[in-house]
Chain A
Amino acid sequence: DTAVSQTPKYLVTQMGNDKSIKCEQNLGHDTMYWYKQDSKKFLKIMFSYNNKELIINETVPNRFSPKSPDKAHLNLHINSLELGDSAVYFCASSLRGAGGREQYFGPGTRLTVT
């Protein structure tokens, strides 16, 4: 029944590794997002994506890349992990053009880089 799900919930890994976080939504939405919440709980958008357009926040390092095998999934790949990548990452989805209130958020993935 979960609308937006993310796996894993917790991820602990070492610097330099490559890792992926998966996101799936069963709401029939056509747009998905990745947000990063930093240690101060500030939520910042990283990517928004539908099947036509990928919008990247220019501050996101190119070590981060979204991969969408289909409309219901938007996975986040991170290469060469760094200590500063430690954060909680949230996936969200909505219908294209929907307001922020209509974005459904996943439960978050807490990434710890050691």
Chain B
Amino acid sequence: KQEVTQIPAALSVPEGENLVLNCSFTDSAIYNLQWFRQDPGKGLTSLLLIQSSQREQTSGRLNASLDKSSGRSTLYIAASQPGDSATYLCAVKDTGNQFYFGTGTSLTVIP
């Protein structure tokens, strides 16, 4: 069974810093990996999607990488802002319709 973990569980940084969130998964037979953010009381907002054949995706200040063989993905956030404060989740999709979510990283960006 796929297990997805995220480190760290919580992170607090001053505004303007660059930061990296980590996601690891146990089964490399994935279809894709997606990064989400969740704001309190709301559903998931999609950030980046990496197909299993891809190595990275970029959107604005966000960059996500994927190393399938080692079972790792990172989300890099450049020049963090207070509005980036949220819980960040990675989710692995298998070749069926199963999603396996990570444990989440709670990010606080201090003004």
Q: Which A residues have a C-beta under 8 Å from some C-beta of B?
A: 33, 35, 40-45, 47-48, 53, 55, 88, 90, 96-97, 99-101, 103, 105, 107-108
Cross-chain contact B89 with A33 (CB below 8 angstroms): no
Residues of B with C-beta under 8 A to A90: 97
Cross-chain contact A100 with B36 (CB below 8 angstroms): yes
Q: Chain B interface residue count: which class?
A: 20 to 34
> A33 is contacted by which of B40, B41, B43, B102 (Cβ under 8 Å)?
B43
Cross-chain contact A97 with B41 (CB below 8 angstroms): yes
Q: A41-B49, A42-B49 are in contact. Are A101 and B89 (CB under 8 A)?
A: yes
Residues of B with C-beta under 8 A to A35: 43-44
Residues of A with C-beta under 8 A to B99: 43, 105
Closest to A55 in B: B42
* CA gap between A35 and B41 in the complex, in Å: 16
> B46 is contacted by which of A33, A45, A105, A107 (Cβ under 8 Å)?
A45
* CA gap between A97 and B87 in the complex, in Å: 11
B90: min CB distance to chain A, Å: 9
A49: min CB distance to chain B, Å: 9
B48: min CB distance to chain A, Å: 9
Bitwise interface map of B from 1 to 43 toward A, beta carbon under 8 Å scored 1, else 0: 0000000000000000000000000000001101010101111
Contacts beyond the supplied A43-B99, A48-B42: 11 A-B pairs with Cβ under 8 Å: A33-B44, A43-B46, A43-B49, A45-B43, A97-B40, A97-B41, A99-B89, A99-B104, A100-B38, A100-B89, A101-B101
